[in-house]
Amino acid sequence: MTWIEQEHGWVAAPEEIVKALAKDGFEECKRETTTSRRDLRPAGGVWQGVNPRTGSVASAIWVTRPPWDQAIVFVSIDGESLKGSDHGTPAVEAEPYKEEGGES
């Protein structure tokens, strides 16, 4: 799982992200894939989970990159994007379109 600043997302196999979220206590409540390519391989998908202990909600949305097994994955926890830090490790950052204390 690698943060790509230009893409504003993670390059990873979607299952790698789902396993990491499950390891952190998130239980799957929704998973869908979309097929819109001619070869009928999934073009992308979405996964949502909830942590029953904390009540937090996690979402992962991915777009596949045809020549690779990996995809660009966008991850959020409680509506805040999970981004890479300066050291490449995950960090939760506030949504840029929301003001502190409510929606803009």
How high is the pLDDT of residue 84? Answer: 77
CB of 56 within 8 A of CB of 24?
A: no
Neighbours of 9 (CB within 10 A): 21
Q: What is the pTM of this model?
A: 0.73
How high is the pLDDT of residue 85? Answer: 60
Q: What is the pLDDT of residues 61-87, one digit of tens each?
A: 999 877 777 899 999 999 999 987 644
The domain limits of the chain are 2-97
Asked if pLDDT for residue 50 goes beyond 50, the answer is yes
The helix/strand/coil state of 13 is coil
Between 104 and 39, the higher pLDDT residue: 39
Mean pLDDT for the stretch of residues 9-29: 94
